[in-house]
Structure 1
Amino acid sequence: MTADFTAQFSEEESAPPAFTLTTGRRRGYHRVAVDTFLESARRSFESGDGDLTSEDVRVASFPLVKEGYDVAEVDSALGRIEDALAARARERTVREKGVEVWVAEARADAQVILDHLAREPKHRFARTGFLTFGYRIDEVDHVADRITGFLRDGAELSAEQVRSAAFRMQRGGYREEQVDALLDATIEVILAVR
């Protein structure tokens, strides 16, 4: 029994990593955490049980460690998984409820986002206290204008562009959780209308 375990352990150790590994001072995602999550996602997708949603993939997080998986590569793979799960959910909704219901839901979600972003620039989200850091207001407002252009005027904007939005920090900035929630809702709408 010990020989079997040793052989299995050696086999797993010698398997090539799924993504590029970080080197030097760069940190990457914890390999076992990523591999476990991706295996769970694969099983859920193949079974079609719907246990894993596109939102679950979007909010997945992993510890950063030395010699971990390259963050950009993993995030790109997660984006593709999120897209596939969103497409499956859209197909299921259309099949079960009809295209009219699906379109109505997407429009309602888009309207909620537009209503929120109709606020005056610099006042679109709650702010942190003067001594606390939040997202930089002008950068968030720039992304908010792009989202408005997409939802109202049909301007180009991809889910990947929204996913990769990053903001510097400033004292008295926008509250991160509110901005992040709106970005997540926007991604849902973009994936719904693809």
Structure 2
Amino acid sequence: MASDDLQNLIETEQAPPAFSLSGGRAHGYHRAAVDTFLAAARAAFEGDADDLTAADVRVASFPLVKNGYVVAEVDAALGRVEDALAARARDRAVRSRGAGAWVEKAREDAQVVLDHLARPARHRFARTGMLTFGYRVDEVDHVAGRIVRYLRDGEPLTAEQLRSAAFRMQRGGYREEQVDALLDATVDVILAVR
């Protein structure tokens, strides 16, 4: 094998990375895990299969490693994939059950979120014990207020803003799984009415 042939083989085997790579001490998402997940997502979407949902994309997680993909870039791409899958699900539901049924379901889901957030501030979610960390209560209540204003008054709020919401930790804070579930439900409502 000539050295030019070997070089061509190496170049074709080493495709450029799909995202920027984290450098220095920064960690990023494991490249092979991300590539595998996105290839499966593309195949499911292009194959018109229903075995991958927007919710599946939302909960996808990847190991953090040195020289991995930049987290923000991958998260942005996952947001676009989630949006596309949600739009496809909405279109299918509207075709099969009609727009009125879809809107009614979104309205019911929004009411469930509003009912939960009608609880008094600092008491909207279960709390962790005083020796355990949870989400910072005042920060979660601030985001909860934005959700209420979006659902009740139509104040602007995007799925991306909720996806990127991050809370500091505090002892005796809100239980993470409850807050995350409500944020996910709100993202579903936002995507349903786009």
Whether TM exceeds 0.5 here: the answer is: yes
Residues 1:48 and 2:48 are matched in the alignment: yes
- Corresponding residue for 2:79? 79
- Corresponding residue for 2:119? 119
Residues 153, 24 of structure 1: alpha-carbon distance in 2 compared, 3 angstrom cutoff: same
Residues 188, 8 of structure 1: alpha-carbon distance in 2 compared, 3 angstrom cutoff: farther
Residues 1:104 and 2:127 are matched in the alignment: no
In the TM superposition, residue 10 of structure 1 has moved relative to its aligned partner by 3.5
- Corresponding residue for 1:142? 142
Between the aligned partners of 2:20 and 2:144, the Cα distance in structure 1 is 33
Between the aligned partners of 1:90 and 1:32, the Cα distance in structure 2 is 31
Where 1:25 maps in the other structure, the secondary structure is coil
- Corresponding residue for 1:190? 190
Between the aligned partners of 1:107 and 1:8, the Cα distance in structure 2 is 57
Q: Which runs of 5+ in 2 are unaligned?
A: 1-5
- Corresponding residue for 1:33? 33
- Corresponding residue for 1:62? 62
Counterparts of residues 134-173 of structure 1 (less than 5 Å): 134-173=134-173
Where 1:123 maps in the other structure, the secondary structure is coil
Number of equivalent positions: 189
TM-score (norm 2): 0.94
CA RMSD between the two structures = 1.5
Between the aligned partners of 2:21 and 2:150, the Cα distance in structure 1 is 36
Between the aligned partners of 2:98 and 2:82, the Cα distance in structure 1 is 22
- Corresponding residue for 1:21? 21
- Corresponding residue for 2:3? none
The letter of the residue matching 2:183 is L
Between the aligned partners of 2:12 and 2:53, the Cα distance in structure 1 is 29
In the TM superposition, residue 81 of structure 1 has moved relative to its aligned partner by 0.5
In the TM superposition, residue 65 of structure 1 has moved relative to its aligned partner by 0.1
Where 2:151 maps in the other structure, the secondary structure is helix
What is the aligned-residue identity percentage?
A: 72
Residues 9, 188 of structure 1: alpha-carbon distance in 2 compared, 3 angstrom cutoff: farther
Where 2:82 maps in the other structure, the secondary structure is helix
1:13-56 CA-to-partner distances (Å, cap 9, x unmatched) read 52100000011110000000000000000000001111110000
Between the aligned partners of 1:137 and 1:23, the Cα distance in structure 2 is 34
Where 1:174 maps in the other structure, the secondary structure is coil
Q: Which runs of 5+ in 1 are unaligned?
A: 1-5
Where 1:65 maps in the other structure, the secondary structure is strand
- Corresponding residue for 1:3? none
Stretches of 4+ aligned residues off by more than 4 angstroms: 6-9
Between the aligned partners of 1:143 and 1:9, the Cα distance in structure 2 is 52
